[in-house]
């Protein structure tokens, strides 16, 4: 059994925020799903929009750092965005045991089956919450911006500042 970070308020009646980190030049299009549309992602195939967020800001940072490295987060301007989901009733939680192939929850290249599984979830639900592969005890929130339109709002955007200890000078 995997021990997971508790979901906020048990996805009860509390405010649900999700976080993402973007290159500053994409700050205004943070919820377009364009990158996932062009390249596909862990839970969507190419030509399907998906916006990837995390339930906590630390996981959002790690999700980007694993692809871009801390050097980029230290040297290129980034914006951290928080969105608020209007109603928890629109969120479908995918528990680790709900995924047909446990390998999908580990780091690696996504399979066609994994992307098809995600496409079906994103077609059926406004938002899905699913375990992070970068931090297996944390959660990501993923949504198709077309299906979720009007069900979330921008909560805040702010300039991101990486702790410089994560990109120290060479010795």
Evaluate whether residue 70 is within a structural domain: yes
**Confidence class of residue 7 from pLDDT cuts 50, 70 and 90?**
low
Average pLDDT, the chain: 92
CB atoms within 10 A of CB 12: 9
Model confidence pLDDT, tens digit, residues 79-113: 999 999 999 899 999 999 999 999 999 999 999 99
Q: Compute the average pLDDT of residues 46-70.
A: 95
Evaluate whether residue 7 is within a structural domain: no
**Confidence class of residue 31 from pLDDT cuts 50, 70 and 90?**
very high
Evaluate whether residue 19 is within a structural domain: yes
Evaluate whether residue 115 is within a structural domain: yes
Evaluate whether residue 8 is within a structural domain: no
Give percent of the chain with pLDDT exceeding 70. Answer: 92
Give percent of the chain with pLDDT exceeding 90. Answer: 87
CA dist 36 to 47, 87, 112, 168, Å? 8, 24, 14, 31
Tell me the Cα Rg of the chain. Answer: 16
- The total number of structural domains in the chain stands at 1
Provide the 3-class DSSP secondary structure of residue 47. coil
Evaluate whether residue 169 is within a structural domain: no
Distance in angstroms (rounded) separating the CA atoms of residues 108 and 42: 9
Distance in angstroms (rounded) separating the CA atoms of residues 122 and 148: 9
Evaluate whether residue 43 is within a structural domain: yes
Q: For the chain, what is the largest distance between any 2 Cα atoms, rounded to a whole number of angstroms?
A: 52
State residue 22 phi and psi, 5-degree precision: -130, 150
Q: What is the per-residue pLDDT for 63?
A: 94
Q: What is the per-residue pLDDT for 115?
A: 98
Evaluate whether residue 122 is within a structural domain: yes
Q: What is the per-residue pLDDT for 17?
A: 92
Q: Compute the average pLDDT of residues 146-160.
A: 96
Distance in angstroms (rounded) separating the CA atoms of residues 129 and 53: 9
Determine the structural domain holding residue 57 and report its residue range.
Answer: 15-164
Q: Compute the average pLDDT of residues 41-51.
A: 97
């Amino acid at each position: 059994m995997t021990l997971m970070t508790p979901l906020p308020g048990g996805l009860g009646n509390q405010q649900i925020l999700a976080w993402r980190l973007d290159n500053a030049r994409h700050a205004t299009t943070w919820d377009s799903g364009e990158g996932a549309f062009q390249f596909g992602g862990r839970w969507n195939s190419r030509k399907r929009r998906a916006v990837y967020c995390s339930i906590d800001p630390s996981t959002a940072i790690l999700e980007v750092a694993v692809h871009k490295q801390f050097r980029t987060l230290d040297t290129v301007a980034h914006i951290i965005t928080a969105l608020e989901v209007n109603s928890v009733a629109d969120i479908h939680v995918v528990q680790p045991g709900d995924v047909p192939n446990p390998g999908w929850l580990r780091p690696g290249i996504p399979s066609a089956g994994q992307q098809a599984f995600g496409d079906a979830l994103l077609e059926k639900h406004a938002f899905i919450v699913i375990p992070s592969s970068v931090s297996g005890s944390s959660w990501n929130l993923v949504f198709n911006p077309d299906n979720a339109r009007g069900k979330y709002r921008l909560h805040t955007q702010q300039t991101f500042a990486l702790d410089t200890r994560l990109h120290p000078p060479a010795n």
